[in-house]
Each structure stands twice: as C-alpha cells, then as structure tokens.
Amino acid sequence: MTEQKNNNIKTVTNPVTREALINTLRGLGVTGNQILEVHSSLSSFGYVVGGARTIVDALMEIAEPGGTILMPTQTTENSEPGNWVDPAVPAYMYKEIRAAMPPYDSRKSDLRNMGEVVENFRHREGVVISNHPAVSYAAWGRYARLLCNRQSMHFPLAEESPCARLYELKGYVLLLGTDFDTCTCMHLAEYRCDCRPIVISGACMNTKDGPQWTKYLDLNIDSEVFSKVRQILVRKKMIRETTLGGCRIQFFPAAAAIDEAVRYFDKTVVYDLYR
C-alpha cells in the first residue's frame, strides 16, 4: 500500500482489487488448467480491497476452468515440544504439553504463522484437507482429492505427500509476497537426498480409542538453504516475477525447482551415515 501522510492521516493511493490481481497473474503466465501451490503474505500487497477473501476469490476464479489451488495448512503447534525452538520449553514440561494438546481438527486447529489467506481458503466450500496432524495441505479444484488423499503419517512431505503429487503432475509454485523459505514443496528435495538426520516427531490426533499423542518419523528439515536454490533458478531464468501494490510475485515450475534443489544438496551436503 502506498500511503500519503497529510496531518498524520494515512491515505491509500493504490488499492489492489480482484481484477488487478487476476490480470497480473494471467500476465505472469498463470492459467486455468494449472496446479498451483500458493504461499502468500496479505500485508505485502499493502491494501487489498476485500482482504484475504479477495485473494482467494481471484485464485479460484482463475483456476475454475480446470485448475487446482493447493496451500499448506500446517498446524505446527501440534508437534513434539522437545523440538520447539521459538519458543523452546524446558524438558519437565514436555509431558504436560503433550497431555494438554487438543487433537488435530482440519477446520479448527490453529494455523500458526500461515496467514489470513490460508485461513480463508481452508473454510471454502469444496476444499479438501489432508489428514496429517502437523503438516497438512488444503486443495480445491480438479485434482484436489488426488493431491491430498494419501499423505503418509511418517515422513509426511516425502513420496506419499501432496508435494510429490505436485511434482508428478507438473504443477507450479506461486509466491505472493513470500520467498523460497516458505515454499513447502521444496522440502521434497530433502527427502530425496541423504542430507538431513531422522528425528522422532509427535502430534495429538483422534483415534478409535479417543485423542492420543502419536509419534512418527520425520527428517529435521530446514528451509533456509532454499534461497541458494533460488539463485540457481534465477540464473537459469526459471522464475517469472512481477509486482502488484508493492508485493513481489514469483511464479515457477515446482518440478524444476525441486530437481535443482536435489542437485544442490547432492553437491553440498553429505551424510555418510545414511549412504
């Protein structure tokens, strides 16, 4: 939002509308038959007329002919407290936190730090949500069920995940005001390399015996390195970029980015223990 200050009063000068976003995305190459993994920061646009609803409306309007919208709906608070770092908790509190954690609910569990656009999207009619209690995905459109119906409990962003289906179906990533460190599908590259140690994670979920804390295996994934992969994609001209209302928008093929990440990890990180 560009603002002009007059006697301490802020004035909006370039509001973002649904039509403006649709035209911008189409100009970038987004069509109605693609699968899009979308990551967004509503505040990066400045002022959007209608807020998060307008962003979701625009995405759905573009995708309506036969496309699919995919968004991570991570409930990261429902996770092993021993792995928490922001904030960290002392070991004597682990048991109490596990016992008090409410079971995962795809419509009610908090989406910590996921943003208003994701929150609006997951409550739309026809949205399908995968069943993982910590790193679920929500999808809407032609391939929504195919993307979300087989996410595994163990190693949830690996080969039985929406990330892998996005890769196989030649989908795309759309970053609306966010950067590569938010790009969930890129974690698939970590699972395809021997570059991360295995950890034991956990979450509370509903079972046939009622709510229970359930352990599962995962990798100690890390998204900070994805910025280096972005530099490779830029050099190879794989990313299309534009701006709208001050928001940087990036658009690129998921499979190409994941393949580049695999090659980067293979060259730079080696865990001999797992080879």
Burial class (CB in 10 A: 0-12, 13-18, 19+), 15: middle
Conformation bin of residue 51: beta by default, left when phi > 0, alpha when psi is -120 to 50: left
Q: What is the pLDDT along the chain (275 residues), one digit of tens a residue?
A: 445 555 667 777 789 999 999 999 999 999 999 999 999 999 999 999 999 999 999 999 999 989 999 999 999 899 999 988 878 999 999 999 999 999 999 999 999 889 999 999 999 999 999 999 999 999 999 999 999 999 999 999 999 999 999 999 999 999 999 999 999 999 999 999 988 999 999 999 999 999 999 999 999 999 999 999 999 999 999 999 999 998 999 999 999 999 999 999 998 876 544 44
Check: CB of residue 181 under 8 Å from CB of residue 150: no
Name the residue with tokens 């609910």.
Answer: 105
Q: Is the link from the previous residue into 87 a cis peptide, with omega within 30 of 0? A: yes
* Element holding 206 (H helix, E strand): strand 198-207
Q: What stretches of the chain show up as alpha helix (H) in DSSP?
A: 18-28, 52-63, 94-100, 116-122, 144-148, 162-168, 187-191, 226-235, 254-268
**Strand pairing class (35-40; 68-74):** parallel
Domain ranges of the chain: 3-75+109-190+223-274
Q: What is the pLDDT of residue 273?
A: 47
Which tokens is 175 given?
């970053």
